[in-house]
Chains A and B, each alone.
Chain A
Amino acid sequence: MGRLISDKIRRGRAVSLSVNGSTVTAYEGETLAAVLLAEEVVVFNRTASGEPRAPYCNMGTCFECQVKVAEPGSAAFRWMRACVTPAADGMTIRTGERLSAPERDHHGNGNNGGNSGGD
């Protein structure tokens, strides 16, 4: 659902990523959120109960844009916020994956960064 602006712009070096099994060309400096929207990805992840979710704030605060990402050369997928993660050559991305049920306290105040882990 997105279109890249091409007027008066020079993007970064072209890089190649895998999105849900297809090869996608992106440009260095683009965030994964921009790459995925330009690729017409609609559902970035699903909540534990199956509700579809996609970027809301585009500034790193809402966590709605999480997708599963494996770094170049790695097979370990981790949840990352697409709006603050720059595209890198060789990344593998999976969208529409289900988040685990909200995790219980790690350290007393209910805040955790542990909605993560491997696959």
Chain B
Amino acid sequence: MAMVITVAIAVATELAIVGAGPAGMAAAEVAAGHGVEVTLVDEQAVPGGQFLRQPPPQFGVSDWLGDPVYREGRRLLERVSADRRLEWIMRSSVAGIFSNGDDDGDEPFTLVLNPVGEGDSGEGGAPRQLSARRVLIASGCFDLPVAFPGWTLPGVMAAGGIQAFVKSQQLVPGKRFLFAGSHPLQLVVADQIVQAGGSVAGVLFAQSSSRALALLKHPSVLLGNADKLSQTAGILWRLRRAGVPVRFRQTVLSANGTDSLESVTTVPVGPDGAIDSDAAEEIECDRLGVCFAFSTSSELARQAGVDCRWDASRGGWIAKHDDNMASSVPGVFVAGETTGVAGSDIAALEGQVAAIGCAAELGKIDARQAVELARLPRRQLSRRARFARLLSELAWPGASLFDQLMSDSATLCKCEGLTVGMLRTQLGRHPDIRTASAAKLLSRAGMGLCQGRYCHFALTRLMARQLGVPEERVGGFTSRFPAKPVSIGRLIGDDS
């Protein structure tokens, strides 16, 4: 990772790529190949994104992500890491993207970068600026937070977060694990825990076995380019050998414990999708991995003015785009999970198409070349994207499951200490409150440090149901600058 540097001054570039995951890396490689000057910005210390969470540079891990699933991704990572044409700005969060007004200017966009981690949670050091002629937003996604009683108790974690401890920190974060959800990733993580010597009490899928198995026949689509069946078969075999039960039509009702997780109450999910609280069971564990779905990191796109639409099973607010991955804002492109959660393969293909579009707009290639170059990735994309959509639907447990888990005592906004019941009461008293943004002002939901990332889904769902309107109508929290926390002192540069 010799090329990873931190730039300390204002810089300019032709193409600024936000996010060095599979989408951003694939785009960088293609764009640089056509002579575009590229700068990648990522808040992590090393590139790779979520799929390829690397161990820190100080670690030597001899067979890191040795599984063939990761082969192509690792090669891409190795190539871009060694690519001397690329500029990197790591450990920097993009807090906002601003248009400088006149599109004919040399650098129509300014990105405000907020250095990560040298200080408190509001980050450290003064913000920096990067100006760019084109911007690609490839900001990925995060595990969908699901509100149920006890979900904020120490010991309850996003399954992807558990995986990152294993993959990148080489830590098994618990003694006895339970996984509950509907996404195939939970099987992968359970397997990684077992292989690292951890104990797994079970993996619960909310779907029926036929639905889940239809999904698990094609894990490669949602989970990277694994070779067909071999991966799931291998995982199921290893889990079985380790005595880990994989159960269907079961889910989490609550996480229990005083200061940390002691047990999880599980319930059957009937064929009609209704949970049966009378048949609840209790499973002892000190770590619960929650793994239903992913939520797009769409704040930056929305802050930049990019048109989004709501698609619950594909990540909530997803950025709209044309065939070239150009967004509704001229000069701003989008790729990867930002455009709908579909896995690393599709993310990388979208990155390639976006890079070709940028190269054409920047005059590095002509329109005919662009069409020619984009033909193959586009064809691969359309085939896989259709399939991925189908699988996302199979992986989606249905919003009504979340409605049932969201009982009144469940925390809704963890930052402001607001429960589902409190919000329901407030909304009942104020029938005129009909949008997420208005509910935010009323209840303070979404005003904390996570900036609504961890309550917006539950709040949107709750309001849509209570008001009897589609989620689109409830709308998102208005996403304004900064898309990530930064204190006012730092913005005006007087922070000491």
Q: Are both chains from one complex?
A: yes
Residue numbers of A with Cβ under 8 A of B are: 1-5, 8-13, 27-31, 33-34, 37-38, 42-44, 47-49, 51-64, 66, 78-81, 83-86, 102, 105-107, 109-117
CB contacts (< 8 Å) of A48 on chain B: these are 417
SS class, residues of chain B in contact with chain A: loop
Q: B residues touching A (Cβ–Cβ < 8 Å)?
A: 43-45, 50, 55-63, 116-117, 119-123, 142-143, 145, 152-158, 160-162, 164-166, 169-175, 196-198, 259-260, 286-287, 297, 414-417, 440, 444, 446-451, 453-454, 478, 480-482, 485-488, 490-491
- Secondary structure call for the A interface: loop
Interface pairs A-B: 3 shortest CB-CB: A113-B122, A29-B56, A12-B58
A13 touches B58 (CB 8 A): yes
Instruction: Give Cα A51–Cα B156 distance, bound, in whole angstroms.
Output: 14
B417 touches A8 (CB 8 A): no
Would A12 and B56 be within 8 Å (CB), given that A53-B152, A59-B161, A102-B415 are in contact? yes
Task: Determine the distance from Cα of A95 to Cα of B444 in the docked complex, in whole angstroms.
Answer: 27
Q: 15 more A-B contacts (CB under 8 A) besides A33-B169, A47-B417?
A: A3-B197, A8-B63, A10-B59, A27-B59, A43-B154, A53-B152, A54-B155, A56-B161, A60-B116, A62-B454, A63-B448, A106-B487, A113-B485, A114-B488, A116-B122
Given A62-B454, A111-B482, residue A3 in contact with residue B117 (CB < 8 A): no
Q: Report chain B residues within 8 Å CB of A109.
A: 478, 480-481
Known: A56-B157, A58-B165. Contact between A110 and B440, CB under 8 A?
Answer: yes
Give chain A residues whose Cβ lies under 8 Å from the Cβ of B172.
Answer: 2-5
When C-beta atoms are compared, the residue in chain A nearest to B119 turns out to be A78
* Complex Cα gap A100–B151 (Å): 21
Supply 30 A–B pairs (Cβ within 8 Å), ascending by A: A1-B173, A4-B171, A4-B172, A9-B61, A11-B170, A12-B59, A33-B169, A34-B169, A34-B171, A34-B173, A38-B171, A47-B417, A51-B152, A56-B161, A57-B158, A58-B157, A61-B142, A61-B297, A61-B453, A80-B120, A84-B117, A102-B416, A107-B491, A113-B120, A113-B122, A113-B490, A114-B122, A114-B487, A115-B121, A116-B119
Question: When chains A and B are docked, how far (Å) is the Cα of A12 from the Cα of B160?
Answer: 24
Known: A34-B169, A37-B173, A57-B161. A63 touches B449 (CB 8 A): yes
Instruction: Kindly report which residue of chain A lies nearest to residue B176, judged by CB atoms.
Output: A1
Inter-chain contact total with CB atoms closer than 8 Å: 207
Smallest CB separation, B476 vs chain A (Å): 13
B480 CB contacts on chain A under 8 angstroms = 109, 111
Question: Which chain B residues border A31 with CB–CB below 8 Å?
Answer: 169
B287 touches A115 (CB 8 A): no
Chain A residues whose CB sits within 8 angstroms of the CB of B491 once the complex forms: 107
Inside 8 A of A43's CB, which chain B residues have their CB? 154, 259-260
Could you tell me if A54 and B161 are in contact, using CB atoms closer than 8 angstroms? no
CB distance from A104 to the nearest CB of B (A): 9
Asked if B122 and A81 sit within 8 Å, CB to CB, the answer is: no
Known contacts A5-B170, A53-B152; A30 and B56 CB within 8 A of each other: yes
Q: Is B122 within 8 A of A27, CB to CB? A: no
Nearest chain A residue, comparing its CB with the CB of B169: A34
| Bound form: Cα–Cα A59–B198 in Å | 22
Least distance between B179 CB and chain A CB atoms (Å): 15
Residues B56 and A62 in contact, CB atoms below 8 Å apart: no
- Determine whether the beta carbon of A79 is less than 8 Å from that of B120: yes
Which residue on B lies nearest to A102, using beta carbons? B416
Residues of A within 8 A of B142 (CB): 57, 59, 61
A43-B152 Cα distance, complex, nearest whole Å: 11
Report chain A residues within 8 Å CB of B444: 102, 110
Given known A85-B117, A116-B119, contact A52–B154 (CB-CB < 8 A): yes
